[in-house]
Chains A and B, each alone.
Chain A
Amino acid sequence: MRPRIVGAALCALLVQASSASAASDGVVRIGSKSFTESYILAEVVAQLVEKVGEARAERRVGLGGTGVTFRALESGAIDIYPEYTGTLSRVMLKDPALVTADAIRPRIEAQGLTISAPLGFNNTYALAVRDELAQRLGLRTIGDLARHPGLSAAFSSGFIEREDGWPGLKRHYGLSLARVEVMEHALQYRALTNGDVDMMDVFSTDGQLERLRLRLLEDDRRFFPDYSAVLLVRREIVQRFPRTWARLREGLEGRIDDRRMAGLNAMADLDGKRIPEVAAAFLGSVSPEGHGRRAVVAELYALTKDHLLLVLVSLAAAIAVGLPMGIVAARYRRAGQLELAVIGMLQTIPALALLMFMIPVFGIGKGPALVALSLYALLPIARGTYAGMIAVDRQLLEIASVLGLGRLRQLLRIDLPLASISIMAGIKTAAVMTVGTATLAAFIGGGGYGSLIVRGLALDDTATILSGAAAAAAMALGFHALFEVLDRLTIPRGLRR
């Protein structure tokens, strides 16, 4: 009876996992990439969807980079997310000539997608110098730099390497600099304000620009591509929720200029405001504390469900495969050694790398995360089973053969129960480990507590990172306690100490 209930519960979870991408319910799934601006815009969309009330809003934010997020939209794992025209034309359509939203729109309709009109701001590369220096040297445009070859710069590694970054810019304007240093974005600001360097690359909506006395040099010869923000959405959502889509367009199209966006980014990055508060501030609605707390609880609940799903399904799969593998390894020792060595090798692959390997094969989202987590959980389970089976007293096995139990009955009645302590120890190790490893699933859009960690990393918000880590730790403790109970149910009384 008991195994049947567990089985039914697992089936239910699996069904839920597989139906997660079917958008037939009254839900709009809102995604975002994992940086502040994307989070804020996604939250604004979510709050507007909730206000209209035509559909329920489900937040699947912080999916990672462009590739992962766009694929999530294509597969239907999300329905809408903020994107940039420059990214759409260069990365997805591979046609840099498509500059405007109106030019791009017809090209993506065949894929069942569409975009809004630009939201107003253009988040592109820009060069920033200190106000004081700009005044002293009379710098207004990028072209003005050509007259000052003795200046120095701190550039991000991306800007140094990209053709639409420094290499192209240098050629386009005929620039040269005395010194160029490569450094992390956060350090660039420090180097610039300290006077160590004279300029840096920024994104034009960077929150820091608001607070520091910096000047953006005008791109007078139009080198930097246009990265106007738009909403990228599945057309079926536009058709199914017309009022919602109309409201999103009305509320966002042309409503956010560079300064406004930089201000919102600064609220999150510099003032430590939570994303929902920033979004509410933009929408002019209040975000009362009670509602905020309820939202946190609701998010935590959703993430817990997500995380639990990841752990239970991958653990079930690992047991279904690992247990027989352990049995086979114990029966056929030599083949078994080879088998365990292979699983062991799998374990030496860093978990994050294993997750990444899954992307080309299985795409992104829960599916590949489940495969990677299952592979990862295999070793402790197979090893535990193997160790338990070979430790069974030989004489007891001989007696079983004399009693004429038959292979299957002997396995179920004698071998497995005698090995149960070791098997359960392996499963317990795998479970606790998987709770931890599953936080990495968020890096490939698998959701779960890792979403908090990814978001915290993106926002440089230690509290959010810790909340994700603490939740995972609490779940690991929960699993530990659960297994204390399961041990009582699965390990025969005669074996317990």
Chain B
Amino acid sequence: MIALHGVTKRFGHAVALDHVSIEVTAGTTHVLLGSSGSGKSTVLRLILGLATPDEGTVVVDGTGVDGSTRAGLVKRMGYVVQDGGLYPHLTASENVALGAEGQRWPRARIDARVAELAVMAGLDRALLARYPRELSGGERQRVGLMRALMLDPPILLLDEPLGALDPLVRAELQGQLGRLFATLGKTVVLVTHDIREAALLGHTITLMTAGRIVQHGTFADLAERPATPFVAQFINAQTLAPSPSVGR
């Protein structure tokens, strides 16, 4: 389980998060929804220990995230970013294998796991020898997902994973992600500004704006019982006009 208790985070004078509390139940997918600058990515960074809260606490599986616990906790997390965040000097399979190298897995075990993940993520195995710039956006994203899953962490954190993809590829990947999360039973926190993605993947959704939580609930809660006019406005803006084709 992942929990933020009354977390405030400032960058200089700007308040990125203002007394935010979120709880994510183990084995479910939670979507952080909002436009850019709403503070949703900061939540992920706090969970990953890449940033520390000015006030409040972040707790992962019962342990507070801080300098001393971070190294142990991130081993239980997989992190996926927009466009894959792949290392350009490594091939797809080398990118995927990095975490296992850090754990000194034997070569054979690494190769077997990479092959298994390629099937799982729907990546043609012939592409594994390629460098990131020789792959399409969708392929890069699949490789990024494989890398996050390499050590089979119980928690997956995804930051706008499909933001840079064209609508068709995005729709296809959204479907695959949904099935994958369901089969693997991971605890997932996914950041997006795409309502359709939130509706499709999120067991629960937190809608944020300007560093505060506006509403927390299922997609049905948000769509049918908007807490404020802003919620209704945000939901309608995207569902009326079909999902935007450009990322943020």
In the bound complex, do residue A401 and residue B50 qualify as a contact, i.e. CB atoms below 8 Å apart?
yes
Stretch in B1-9, B72-80, B119-127, B196-204 with 4+ CB within 8 Å of A: B72-80
Chain A, residue nearest B88 (CB): A494
Which residues in chain B, 69-121, are within 8 Å of chain A measured between CB atoms?
71, 74-75, 77, 79, 81, 85, 87-91, 98-99, 101-103
A493 to B102, CA, bound (A): 22
Chain B CB within 8 A of A495 CB: yes
Chain A CB within 8 A of B48 CB: yes
Chain A, residue nearest B84 (CB): A399
Chain B CB within 8 A of A271 CB: no
A495 to B131, CA, bound (A): 9
A402 to B81, CA, bound (A): 12
A491 to B187, CA, bound (A): 39
A481 to B143, CA, bound (A): 37
In the bound complex, do residue B89 and residue A406 qualify as a contact, i.e. CB atoms below 8 Å apart?
no
Chain A CB within 8 A of B133 CB: yes
A404 to B87, CA, bound (A): 15
In the bound complex, do residue A403 and residue B102 qualify as a contact, i.e. CB atoms below 8 Å apart?
yes
Taking CB atoms, residues of chain B closer than 8 Å to A398 are: 48, 50
Stretch in A49-57, A262-270, A409-417, A471-479 with 4+ CB within 8 Å of B: A409-417
Chain B CB within 8 A of A297 CB: no
Chain A CB within 8 A of B132 CB: yes
Which residues in chain A, 449-497, are within 8 Å of chain B measured between CB atoms?
492-495
Q: Which of B85, B89, B103, B133 counts the most A-chain CB atoms under 10 A from its CB?
A: B89
In the bound complex, do residue A404 and residue B75 qualify as a contact, i.e. CB atoms below 8 Å apart?
yes
In the bound complex, do residue A395 and residue B89 qualify as a contact, i.e. CB atoms below 8 Å apart?
no
Cβ distance B73 to chain A, nearest Cβ, rounded Å = 10
In the bound complex, do residue B132 and residue A404 qualify as a contact, i.e. CB atoms below 8 Å apart?
no
A488 to B99, CA, bound (A): 27
In the bound complex, do residue A395 and residue B81 qualify as a contact, i.e. CB atoms below 8 Å apart?
yes
- Please, what's the 1-or-0 string for A404-430, where 1 marks a CB less than 8 Å from any CB in chain B? 111001000110011010000000000
Which residues in chain A, 222-281, are within 8 Å of chain B measured between CB atoms?
none
Chain A: number of interface residues, binned into ranges = 20 to 34
Cβ distance A410 to chain B, nearest Cβ, rounded Å = 9
Taking CB atoms, residues of chain B closer than 8 Å to A409 are: 101-102
Cβ distance B197 to chain A, nearest Cβ, rounded Å = 21
A420 to B133, CA, bound (A): 17
A409 to B97, CA, bound (A): 13
In the bound complex, do residue B85 and residue A494 qualify as a contact, i.e. CB atoms below 8 Å apart?
no
Chain A, residue nearest B71 (CB): A404
A86 to B98, CA, bound (A): 74
A413 to B88, CA, bound (A): 12
Taking CB atoms, residues of chain B closer than 8 Å to A402 are: 48, 50, 74, 77, 79
Q: A401-B74, A402-B48, A402-B77 are in contact. Are A494 and B102 (CB under 8 A)?
A: no
Taking CB atoms, residues of chain A closer than 8 Å to B98 are: 400, 403, 405, 413
A307 to B98, CA, bound (A): 43
In the bound complex, do residue A494 and residue B131 qualify as a contact, i.e. CB atoms below 8 Å apart?
yes
Chain B, residue nearest A398 (CB): B50
Taking CB atoms, residues of chain A closer than 8 Å to B102 are: 403-406, 409
Chain B, residue nearest A495 (CB): B89
Which of B85, B88, B132 is A395 in contact with, Cβ under 8 Å?
B85
Which of B48, B71, B89 is A417 in contact with, Cβ under 8 Å?
B89
In the bound complex, do residue A403 and residue B99 qualify as a contact, i.e. CB atoms below 8 Å apart?
yes
Which of B90, B99, B101 is A492 in contact with, Cβ under 8 Å?
B90
Q: Which of A409, A492, A494 counts the most B-chain CB atoms under 10 A from its CB?
A: A494
Taking CB atoms, residues of chain A closer than 8 Å to B88 are: 418, 494-495
Which residues in chain B, 127-168, are within 8 Å of chain A measured between CB atoms?
131-133, 147
Chain B, residue nearest A400 (CB): B98
A404 to B89, CA, bound (A): 19
Taking CB atoms, residues of chain B closer than 8 Å to A286 are: none
Chain B CB within 8 A of A9 CB: no
Taking CB atoms, residues of chain A closer than 8 Å to B81 are: 395, 399
In the bound complex, do residue B85 and residue A399 qualify as a contact, i.e. CB atoms below 8 Å apart?
yes
Taking CB atoms, residues of chain B closer than 8 Å to A404 are: 71, 74-75, 99, 102-103
Chain A, residue nearest B70 (CB): A401
Cβ distance A495 to chain B, nearest Cβ, rounded Å = 5
Cβ distance A250 to chain B, nearest Cβ, rounded Å = 70
A402 to B70, CA, bound (A): 9
Chain B CB within 8 A of A396 CB: yes
Taking CB atoms, residues of chain B closer than 8 Å to A399 are: 79, 81, 85
Cβ distance B187 to chain A, nearest Cβ, rounded Å = 16
Chain B, residue nearest A494 (CB): B131
Taking CB atoms, residues of chain B closer than 8 Å to A420 are: 89
A395 to B48, CA, bound (A): 13
In the bound complex, do residue B48 and residue A494 qualify as a contact, i.e. CB atoms below 8 Å apart?
no
A54 to B102, CA, bound (A): 63
Taking CB atoms, residues of chain A closer than 8 Å to B77 are: 402
A401 to B99, CA, bound (A): 10
Taking CB atoms, residues of chain B closer than 8 Å to A413 are: 98, 101
- Please, what's the 1-or-0 string for B27-57, where 1 marks a CB less than 8 Å from any CB in chain A? 0000000000000000000001010000000
Which of A395, A406, A494 is B90 in contact with, Cβ under 8 Å?
A494
In the bound complex, do residue A493 and residue B74 qualify as a contact, i.e. CB atoms below 8 Å apart?
no
A418 to B85, CA, bound (A): 13
Taking CB atoms, residues of chain A closer than 8 Å to B99 are: 403-405
Chain B, residue nearest A491 (CB): B89
Report B's interface with A, CB cutoff 8 A: 48, 50, 71, 74-75, 77, 79, 81, 85, 87-91, 98-99, 101-103, 131-133, 147
16 A-B residue contacts at CB 8 Å? A396-B87, A398-B50, A399-B85, A401-B74, A402-B77, A403-B147, A404-B71, A404-B75, A404-B103, A405-B98, A413-B98, A414-B87, A417-B89, A418-B89, A494-B87, A494-B90
Report A's interface with B, CB cutoff 8 A: 395-396, 398-406, 409, 413-414, 417-418, 420, 492-495
Given A405-B98, A494-B89, A495-B88, 20 other A-B residues pairs in contact with their CB atoms under 8 A: A395-B81, A399-B81, A399-B85, A400-B98, A401-B74, A402-B74, A402-B79, A404-B71, A404-B75, A406-B102, A409-B101, A413-B98, A413-B101, A417-B87, A418-B88, A418-B89, A492-B89, A492-B90, A493-B131, A495-B89
